[in-house]
Chain A
């Protein structure tokens, strides 16, 4: 089955710790995205990538970093600089980065701070 996988499902972060969220897709999509979801606020774009070895900041990139070394993988690191990391993180992909493209979402990772 083609799709997007995210791991882990739940992640706990200690004070001052960096954590990495995994996102893998086998849809052969060029574009990948990371969103943060908070209650009552909809989705906010953290980073996106249109092609391997290239990525751009979204609306709330501060305190986060990404890499795109392989087409199928787009990991997100939540750094210690992100002071309010508790949220539901969603990874998505689309065939291209055109405005008409449907985005396909993974099941999400819930990050909690200890």
Chain B
């Protein structure tokens, strides 16, 4: 069965430090990959997505993620975090085996230390 694993439930980092949030998925077919962000007590919003083409995708606020097919990963990175990046980040995958419904990871809380 398809699954999404976010290895870290929480990631504490100092402000202006780099961060990587890890996401691995299990699928043997072509996938579409998403990162969503949830700020405290709010709904989710799309951060970035990979559908096809370049394996490196970027968001408007400095995040990027790289699709690695051989390692079945889609890790999210930012070279320098800001206090406003404090949020929970969710990785999600869809493919034909899930009837194209999104399969969600458990989420990673990014905690920015001043």
Contact = CB atoms under 8 A, between A and B. Distances in A.
Interface of A: 4, 6, 40-45, 48, 58, 90, 92, 97-100, 102-108
Contact of A105 (B32, B45, B51): B45
B68 to A, nearest CB: 20
A58 B99 CA distance: 11
Contacts of B41: 107-108
Nearest to B6: A42
29 contacts: A40-B9, A40-B106, A41-B106, A42-B104, A42-B105, A42-B106, A43-B44, A43-B90, A58-B101, A92-B43, A92-B44, A98-B100, A99-B94, A99-B96, A100-B32, A100-B51, A102-B34, A102-B49, A103-B44, A103-B46, A103-B102, A104-B45, A104-B46, A105-B43, A107-B41, A107-B42, A107-B43, A108-B41, A108-B43
B101 A48 contact: yes
Interface in B34-59: 34, 36, 41-46, 49, 51
Interface of B: 4, 9, 32, 34, 36, 41-46, 49, 51, 90, 94-96, 100-102, 104-107
